[in-house]
A and B are shown apart, each in its own frame.
Chain A
């Protein structure tokens, strides 16, 4: 079973910030939180990952709560090309860090 919980779908207006939540209440102290996205008919694409501190790169920002039980992926200025399924994943440490994928959040950016 996936160790994370995400809403099945979300909408966001083009040009606005898209905030995608994820709950990972059973996360261990040294487990990272990863975000990937999958655009239709393509393989998943890495977005960002973090351990404790907030992270930012050219694609997105990742905000992790102080207790590490939840996080939010922020796409600061969403475009139509950001329409995709977004996966929040915590690798399972006792299984060679295997990624267990849930169904993710289907994000639809509307013009």
Chain B
């Protein structure tokens, strides 16, 4: 069990640029989640995958955000035309997927700064 891995740890970009983050979940975990967290707040749900299927997406999620999980393994989160308000910590989590009795394992996150 090597844990959830996220890359890069930090990303600085200029407004209007596109950025992509990667998440490698714990192997054999079939659920993968993306969250966003700003300073002083708890994580905010963005989207989640059951294997390769994206099953839920937050209504608050701008269409500039897109996530994929090809082959049900790693996942990528892309933000197009970044805005300063996108600056946040982006967290990935995975779980075995057992209904309402499951533990989420989080990565260390990617800290995005949009200048």
**B4 in the interface, Cβ–Cβ < 8 Å?**
yes
Q: Is B108 an interface residue (CB 8 A)?
A: yes
Note all chain A residues with C-beta closer than 8 A to B56.
Answer: 95-96, 98
Q: Which residues on A are within 8 Å of B, measured CB to CB?
A: 2, 30-32, 34, 36, 41-46, 49, 51, 87, 91, 93, 95-104
CA distance A109 to B102 in the complex (A): 29
Contacting pair B41 A42 (CB below 8 A): no
B104 at the binding interface (Cβ < 8 Å):
yes
B109 CB-CB contact with A under 8 Å: yes
| Cβ contact of B43, chosen from A41, A49, A51, A101, cutoff 8 A | A101
Residue contacts A-B, CB under 8 angstroms, 24 given = A31-B100, A32-B101, A34-B103, A36-B104, A42-B108, A43-B4, A43-B108, A43-B109, A44-B91, A44-B93, A44-B106, A46-B103, A46-B104, A49-B101, A49-B103, A51-B101, A96-B48, A96-B55, A97-B102, A98-B56, A99-B43, A99-B104, A101-B41, A101-B44
Contact at A101–B55, with CB atoms within 8 Å? no
Chain A residues with CB under 8 A of B101: 32, 49, 51
Bin chain B's interface residue count. 20 to 34
Q: Is the interface of B mostly helix, strand, loop or mixed?
A: loop
User: Bound state CA distance, A99 and B31, in angstroms?
Assistant: 13
- Taking a contact as CB atoms under 8 Å apart, the answer to whether A43 and B93 are in contact is yes
Chain B 92-115 interface 0/1 with A at a Cβ cutoff of 8 Å (1 = within): 010000011111111111000000
B42 contacts across to A, CB distance below 8 A: 2, 87, 101-104
Q: Are A103 and B100 in contact (CB under 8 A)?
A: no
Q: Is there a chain A Cβ closer than 8 Å to B45's Cβ?
A: yes
A91 near B100 with CB under 8 A, answer yes
Q: With A95-B56, A98-B56, A101-B43 known to touch, is A45 a contact of B102 (CB < 8 Å)?
A: no
Query: Bound complex: CA of A99 vs CA of B107, how far in Å?
Result: 16
Q: Which residues 63-115 in B have Cβ within 8 Å of A in the complex?
A: 91, 93, 99-109
Which residues of chain A are near B45, meaning CB under 8 Å? 98-100
Q: Which of B43, B93, B100, B101 has the most CB of A within 10 A?
A: B100
- With A43-B91, A93-B100, A99-B104 already in contact, 6 other A-B pairs whose C-beta atoms are closer than 8 Å: A32-B101, A43-B107, A96-B48, A96-B55, A98-B45, A102-B42
